């Protein structure tokens, strides 16, 4: 058998992606004493989704002090929900501080990786070949733009782009701007642009429930206090984490008291902040709050009532050179058209071709729906691990908390290889099937399964997210159940 040129206690490790999870993985590998690793990054900078998305108004819907690595707090966040540029700068700063940049090969995507002869054979987009004992896919969730199939989109004569490919060369001052979509991105764009453009048309296919938030700007004195007294940051983190635990425990049970409280808050937000009864009804969803990913905003309802704003609920018939033609026959003339129709959240590592033991293709394994045991491991794909993979708690946890727990779990699996107790390790088919069956059964009780269409659902209409309490996730991550794994010596 041919193996990568390594020893058992110093395996060759390839990390794919230099976003939040990839940076974290490199730091933790180094801390654990691994030094034979490399990160391949498709772009020329770190940052993942925060590098890709630069649209006006971009911010995280997790409070900033929780959306940081636990070992690297940031006392300098400007407000409760940090804007995208601050978050991207944070990850760049952390990558530099921990010397992660030295480990990254930028502008090298991984089109294919294949397990054969006992190790992973990878080829990069530049033609480089690499051989690794272990592959860790830190490729993220929201990075493959989904462009809606709209007739005539390519004929539009003005500037037209997906929200994740924002064209900052376009001067929007006084322009007629149209945005297709009403997810989190479109809501943030609306709030950021409505008073800066000549006219703002928001094309809504599905109304969204909006959870009210207070996005407070920290004063100079507060930031100074965070810098001099780390316990103040920890106090905020504990409070936010407790709130998240309550939210997470509520959404997994559609009939919970907590879920009713969330729905009541969303309903009151709409009733109390939209004056025009006709507009209010256009903005009222016909499904339960939380069924789709809940949107958090402090000012969307104010923004959509701005004199420049128009909420358009008639279906789009086609795009024409001069604008968007809706089903009522009206042409909405525009200078700029933004497609804010989200991402292919079920892609994960794809379009990379991943071939496991005996040439088994990950696309074939995932033909019905993407699945990974604890969102980390897949049967017959030895020494291949995912961060924030399928069926993880993407809808109700902080992704950084998830990734930190998963990296700790993966390091324990790597310890089996390092100690010489096995050469290959992957979840066995029985444990994986048992986990997926239990997950699918539990998911049907969640708020996500109450009748709406969302990117949480697989093609059978079953929510793909983690359907249990946070405590169960962290218990699972504390130590691998090695009896669930196939190990080859």
**Is 193 in the same domain as 306?**
yes
Same domain? For 477 and 447 the reply is yes
208 in helix, strand or coil? Answer: coil
Of 318, 339, 360, the residue that ends a domain is: 339
How many domains are there within the chain?
Answer: 2
CA distances to 92, 216, 224, 306, 338 from 179, rounded to whole Å, are 30, 27, 39, 15, 5
Residues 301 and 353 both lie in one domain: no
User: DSSP letter string over 393-436?
Assistant: STTTS-HHHHHHHHHHHHHHHHHHHHTTS-SEEEE-HHHHHHHH
The answer to whether residues 393 and 273 belong to one domain is no
Q: Which residues contact 99 (CB under 8 A, 6 or more apart)?
A: none
Shared domain check, 292 and 157: yes
**Tens-place pLDDT, residues 191-213:** 999 999 999 999 999 999 999 99
Q: Identify whether residues 290 and 431 lie together within a single domain.
A: no
- What's the domain range around 158? 153-217+222-228+254-339
pTM equals 0.94
Domain end among 339, 370, 387: 339
Q: Which residues contact 123 (CB under 8 A, 6 or more apart)?
A: 110, 111, 112, 113, 129, 130
CATH number for the domain harbouring residue 361: 3.50.50.60
For 341-382, write each residue's pLDDT tens digit: 987 767 788 889 999 999 999 999 999 889 999 999 999 999
Residues 446 and 331 in one domain: no
Using the CB atoms, write b or e for 160-197: b if 16+ within 10 Å: bbbbbebeeeeebeebbbbbbbbbbbbbbbbbbbbeeb
Confidence category of residue 68, pLDDT binned at 50, 70, 90: very high
pLDDT digits (tens, 9 = 90+) for 92-149: 999 999 999 999 999 999 999 999 999 999 999 999 999 999 999 999 876 678 887 8
299, 321, 339: which is the final residue of a domain? Answer: 339
Looking at the fold, whether 42 and 189 belong to one and the same domain comes out as no
Statement to judge: residues 321 and 348 lie in one domain: no
């Amino acid at each position: 058998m041919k193996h990568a040129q390594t020893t058992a206690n110093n395996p060759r490790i390839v990390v794919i992606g230099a976003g939040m999870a990839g940076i974290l993985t490199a730091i933790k590998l180094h801390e654990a004493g691994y030094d034979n690793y490399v990160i391949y990054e498709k772009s020329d900078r770190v940052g993942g989704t925060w590098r890709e998305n630069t649209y006006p108004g971009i911010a995280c819907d997790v409070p900033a002090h929780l959306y940081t690595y636990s070992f690297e707090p940031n006392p300098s966040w400007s407000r409760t929900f940090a804007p995208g540029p601050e978050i991207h700068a944070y990850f760049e700063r952390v990558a530099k501080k921990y010397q992660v940049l030295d480990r990254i090969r930028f502008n090298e995507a991984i089109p294919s990786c294949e397990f054969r002869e006992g190790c992973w054979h990878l080829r990069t987009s530049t033609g480089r070949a690499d051989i690794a004992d272990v592959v860790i896919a830190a490729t993220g969730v929201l990075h493959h733009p989904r462009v809606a199939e709209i007739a005539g989109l390519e004929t539009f004569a003005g500037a037209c782009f997906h929200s994740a490919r924002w064209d900052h060369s376009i001067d929007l001052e006084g322009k007629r701007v149209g945005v297709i979509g009403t997810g989190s991105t479109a809501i943030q764009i609306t709030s950021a642009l409505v008073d800066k453009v000549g006219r703002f048309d928001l094309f809504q296919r599905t109304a969204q429930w909006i959870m009210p938030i207070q996005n407070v700007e920290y004063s100079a004195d507060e930031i100074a206090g965070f810098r001099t007294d780390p316990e103040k940051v920890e106090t905020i983190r504990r409070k936010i984490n407790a709130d998240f635990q309550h939210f997470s425990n509520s959404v997994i049970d559609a009939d919970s008291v907590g879920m009713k409280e969330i729905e009541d808050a969303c309903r009151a937000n709409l009733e109390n902040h939209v004056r025009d009864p006709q507009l209010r009804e256009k903005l009222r969803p016909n499904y339960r709050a939380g069924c789709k990913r809940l949107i958090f905003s402090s000012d969307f309802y104010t923004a959509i009532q701005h004199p420049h704003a128009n909420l358009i609920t008639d279906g789009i018939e086609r795009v024409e050179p001069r604008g968007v033609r809706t089903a009522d026959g009206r042409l909405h003339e525009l200078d700029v058209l933004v497609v804010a129709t989200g991402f292919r959240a079920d892609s994960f590592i794809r379009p990379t071709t991943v071939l496991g033991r005996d040439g088994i293709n990950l696309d074939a394994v995932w033909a019905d729906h993407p699945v990974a045991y604890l969102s980390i491991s897949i049967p017959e794909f030895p020494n291949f691990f995912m961060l924030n993979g399928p069926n993880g708690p993407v809808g109700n946890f902080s992704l950084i908390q998830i990734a930190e727990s998963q990296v700790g779990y993966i390091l324990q699996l790597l310890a089996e290889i390092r100690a010489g107790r096995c050469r290959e390790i992957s979840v066995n088919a029985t444990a994986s099937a048992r986990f997926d069956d239990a997950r699918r059964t539990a998911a049907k009780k969640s708020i996500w399964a109450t009748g709406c269409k969302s990117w949480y659902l697989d093609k059978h209409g079953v929510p793909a997210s983690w359907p249990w309490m946070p405590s169960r996730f962290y218990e699972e991550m504390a130590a691998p159940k090695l009896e669930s794994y196939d190990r080859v010596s």
